[in-house]
Amino acid sequence: MKNLLKDFSEEDLKIFKGEFNDFLPEKIMDFHVHLWKRDFLDKEVSEERQRVNPFADPDIIDGFSFEEFKVVAERLFPGKKYKGLFFGLPAKEVNLAKANRYISDICKENNCYGLYIPEPDLKEIPESFFENRFVGFKPYPDLVGYNTPEDFSKLDIDVSIFDFVSKKVLEFSNEYGLILLLHIPRKGRLNDRRNIEEIRSIAKSYPDIKIVLAHAGRSYCYSDIKESIGYLKDIENLYVDTAMINSFSVNKVLLEELGPERVLYGSDLAVAALKGKNIDINNKHYFVTSTPRPWSLSSDVMNLDSFTYFIYEIIRAIRIAVKSLGMGREDIRNIFYLNTRKLIKNITNNH
């Protein structure tokens, strides 16, 4: 990542000390961290894709190594023990074999765990899956070979979850009770009934899989989640991560409906190490950033120096929701640490 935390200021440190130091537990486990290196990309990311995908931004695409993760953790969370669950960058330009190997190497060296990014049609589970410290999968709709223009994001087109999560992945995950971190497809997100039906059908046919909805089902807006959560909350093994959610009202719904045991703090680093905020305007999600980027709302004339990092806005939105619901230390510890630790322990204890 270029210019990593170059914009860190006294004001940011004040936010940490004033809002987070006492609120956050001693140990933090970030459920959603991407690590990769530039040379894992087999081809250049097209300009079209750079314009729409924050991870393809020229400031980010150069990579986010484990060393950089440690710099961010130490700088933004001084005094805390900040750990992560790691996976590569799921983009069609990335060589997945290299991406997965890097995660495995880092996890073996540093006593942590990762998720494996599978090809959409994965038929054989890679050798030494558990020895390589994988505890589940992070499939991604963008990897589907679909008959669309090169520059088109698959997130908003009609891809079924079963187009990018193979039967083998589901069977193996069920057999060992693994984590399946799902980035749901389709424009309607959780308001598309087909997504709900597919999630329910996975839960029914494979009851031992721990299904985690990334970004709480891409619910950056209250309207994405307020009704749809009602169709999912009875699924026992269903969890959500908070990656890039900056909305207090989304978090409040999640905590009320799922309870603090099924909400996992996650950031989506490296993009969360930029300064900005996700906002909800007329039920649509927009990125806002302190410096102008083609994928965000911003300004090159207004002075936006007073912004802080997305990752702080994620935590701030959780804090306000937790406080408004009168939740206590134990709930906070669950969200930021214990829930993820328990999920991982549950898997590693069995192998």
Residue ranges binding Zn ion (CB under 5 A): 268
Smallest distance, Å, CB 212 to Zn ion?
12
The Cα 268–Cα 324 span in angstroms is 25
CB nearer Zn ion, residue 32 or residue 333: 32
Helix (H, G, I), strand (E, B) or coil at 17: helix
The Cα 207–Cα 109 span in angstroms is 33
CB nearer Zn ion, residue 142 or residue 331: 142
Q: Cis omega (within 30 of 0) on the bond before 270?
A: yes
Smallest distance, Å, CB 45 to Zn ion?
16
CB nearer Zn ion, residue 198 or residue 268: 268
Q: Are strands 263-264 and 238-241 parallel, antiparallel or unpaired?
A: parallel
The Cα 2–Cα 60 span in angstroms is 6
Of 293, 292, 290, 324, which is closest to residue 310 (Cα–Cα)? 290
Smallest distance, Å, CB 243 to Zn ion?
6
User: Tokens at residue 347, please?
Assistant: 């898997």
Cβ-based neighbours of 135, under 8 Å, separated by 6 or more: 85, 113, 114, 115, 178, 179, 343, 344, 347, 348
Asked if residues 57 and 272 have their Cβ atoms less than 8 Å apart, the reply is no
Smallest distance, Å, CB 34 to Zn ion?
6
Smallest distance, Å, CB 156 to Zn ion?
16
CB nearer Zn ion, residue 219 or residue 332: 219
CB nearer Zn ion, residue 163 or residue 268: 268
Query: How many helices and strands (H and E) does the chain possess?
Result: 13, 12
The Cα 127–Cα 124 span in angstroms is 9
Q: Which residue has the CB atom at the shortest distance from Zn ion? A: 268
Cβ-based neighbours of 167, under 8 Å, separated by 6 or more: none
Smallest distance, Å, CB 180 to Zn ion?
14
Smallest distance, Å, CB 116 to Zn ion?
15
| Tokens 């890039």 belong to residue | 244
CB nearer Zn ion, residue 15 or residue 250: 250
| Tokens 């088109």 belong to residue | 152
The Cα 173–Cα 127 span in angstroms is 15
Smallest distance, Å, CB 178 to Zn ion?
18
The Cα 159–Cα 165 span in angstroms is 11
Other C-beta atoms within 10 Å of 154: how many?
20
Smallest distance, Å, CB 69 to Zn ion?
14
CB nearer Zn ion, residue 117 or residue 225: 117
CB nearer Zn ion, residue 64 or residue 248: 64
The Cα 181–Cα 240 span in angstroms is 9
CB nearer Zn ion, residue 30 or residue 268: 268
